[in-house]
Amino acid sequence: MTISKNDKIPQVTFTTMTANGPEGVDSDSFFKGRKVALFSVPGAYTPTCSAKHLPSYIEKAADLKAKGIDEIACTAVNDAFVMGAWAKASGAEGKVTMLADGNGSFAKAVGLEMDGSKFGLGTRGQRFSMIVNDGVIEELNIEAPGDYKVSSAEHMLEQL
């Protein structure tokens, strides 16, 4: 079942790249007591994700924070090494926290996984965004297959 507005974020462990290597990030702790702009991409370094989706959040980071967002985070069914390299290559460091969902646990827990097998990607997370306030989803924007509209930073700014 797909997660909905007013639902609590499920408890999962993401992985993030640090100076000491990959480290686990508990979702309950990550979202507790703050307002987070979370967006999901089907894959790091993929065309729309790299050309539009991640750049929209990097470019609008200050605007989102001015409207009450405490943290901006990107998740994808990729490992922490790939997500860390993508953060460096894209200029996301210090603006967007990369939350690797290497096994797709989060995508599955929120019911937003997709089958990318025909593109050689296997099971991935769909393209979506959400505003999470103290662990509860205030806004949820799920893209239609192949679209990039409602999960953009620009759309999220309109919701704040």
DSSP 1-22: ----TTPBPPP-EEEEEETTEE
Q: What is the pLDDT of residue 120?
A: 73
Q: What is the pLDDT of residue 1?
A: 73
Q: What is the pLDDT of residue 11?
A: 97
Q: What is the pLDDT of residue 46?
A: 85
21-26 and 13-18 as β-strands: parallel, antiparallel, unpaired? Answer: antiparallel
Short-list 62, 63, 83, CA closest to 15:
83
Q: Kindly indicate the confidence band of residue 145, based on its pLDDT and cuts at 50, 70 and 90.
A: confident
Count Cα neighbours of 37 within 13 Å in the Cβ-side half-sphere.
29
Active site residue 74: no
User: ∠145-68-56 over CA atoms, to 5°?
Assistant: 35
Segment 42-47 shows an average pLDDT of 88
| More confident: 89 or 122 | 89
Indicate which residue of 49, 69, 132, 142 is catalytic.
49
Asked whether residue 138 carries a pLDDT value surpassing 80, the answer given is yes
Mean confidence (pLDDT) of the chain: 94
Give all strands (DSSP E) within 41-96, no chain letters: 71-76
Asked whether residue 101 carries a pLDDT value surpassing 90, the answer given is yes
Cα separation of 12 and 101, whole Å?
Answer: 9
pTM, 2 dp: 0.94
Asked whether residue 121 carries a pLDDT value surpassing 80, the answer given is no
CATH topology for 15-159 is: Glutaredoxin (3.40.30)
